[in-house]
Structure 1
C-alpha cells in the first residue's frame, strides 16, 4: 500500500537524503549511507517510502538551454477570451515546444507561460504566429528575462 503525503512524515535522515539527492541524483546509496552512518538498505527503503508518498516525484536531468542555443527566455501573461477557453488554450500551448512552463493564475492573466527561443526574431515569430494566433487568446504581455540570478528547489 502506498503512503500518502498526509501519512508519511519526513525526519532528519529523510531531509539529509533528499538534500544529497537534490545536489546529485546519481549519488550512490552506499555513499549517502556512509555519510549518514546508516546502511545502504536503510537509504533505499527511505527513498522508496518517499517515492510512494509522492515526496520524490522522479529524477530529472538539467539541461543548459543556452548551451543548446536558446538565448532568449521570456514570460508571457495571457488573457483568455472566456474562462471556459482554458482547457483548449492549454492544449494548444502544450503543443508548442517553445513553451516550457505554464501556470493557471489569478490576477491580470489567466495563464502565465515561460518560453525559450534561440533569438528575438524567433520569439517574435512564436508570439505573433503561434501564441497570439490561438483563437482562445485575447491578449498577451511579454516580459523578457535578462538574467536568472536565483534558481533552486524547495528545501525539504
Structure 2
C-alpha cells in the first residue's frame, strides 16, 4: 500500500478536526474556501489511509474522581510471557495504556486510580499477582504539563 501524501488542506482539516471533531464539513469548507464535498472526500481518503482512525470524547480524569496517575515499568520472568501478560493487563480497567519497550522494562504501563490506597490495591492484588511478572517499578505523576497529539 502506498503512503498517503498529505497536502496543506489535509493538514488544515486534521488540525480543525483535532480541535473539534464535531465541526460540520460545510463549516470547514467555508473556512478553507473549498466545497463540502471536497472536505468529505479528503476525510474519507484519510480514513482509508488509517490517518484518521476514529473520533473520541476527551474526559477530565480528575473530575471523574481519578486523582492518581502513575507509570509502571514491568519486568517479565521470560519474554515468551509477553502476549499473555498484555491480555491480563488489558483486563484491568485501571491500565489505560501499555507499551512494549526496549531498555530497563519489558512493558511500560500507564495506570489511573482514584487514590493512593486504590493504587496500592491494584499493584498488590492485580498487577503483582500476575505470576510471570518478576518485578515492577512505579513512578507517580505529579503533573501533566504537556499533553497533546502529534502535529500533522
| Separation in structure 2 between the aligned mates of residue 53 and residue 145 of structure 1, nearest angstrom | 35
Shift in Å, 1:60? 1.1
* Conserved? CA contact 1:74–1:145, under 8 Å: yes
| Alignment size in residue pairs | 152
Post-superposition CA distance 1:109-131 (Å, at most 9, x none): 00000000000000001001100
* Conserved? CA contact 1:76–1:113, under 8 Å: yes
Post-superposition CA distance 1:52-75 (Å, at most 9, x none): 011101111111111110000000
| Separation in structure 1 between the aligned mates of residue 15 and residue 123 of structure 2, nearest angstrom | 38
* Conserved? CA contact 1:88–1:136, under 8 Å: no
| Separation in structure 2 between the aligned mates of residue 7 and residue 71 of structure 1, nearest angstrom | 41
Post-superposition CA distance 1:4-36 (Å, at most 9, x none): 4x3420100000000000000001111111010
Structure 2 stretches of 5 or more lacking a match? none
Question: Alignment RMSD, CA only?
Answer: 0.7
Question: Secondary structure of the residue that 1:152 maps to in structure 2?
Answer: coil
TM-score w.r.t. structure 1 length?
0.96
| Separation in structure 2 between the aligned mates of residue 30 and residue 155 of structure 1, nearest angstrom | 24
* Conserved? CA contact 1:78–1:109, under 8 Å: yes
TM-score w.r.t. structure 2 length?
0.98
Structure 1 stretches of 5 or more lacking a match? none
| Separation in structure 1 between the aligned mates of residue 138 and residue 50 of structure 2, nearest angstrom | 34
Does 1:51 pair with 2:79? no
1:70 paired residue number: 66
1:150 paired residue number: 146
Query: Pairwise mapping of residues 100-115 of structure 1 onto structure 2 (< 5 A)?
Result: 100-115=96-111
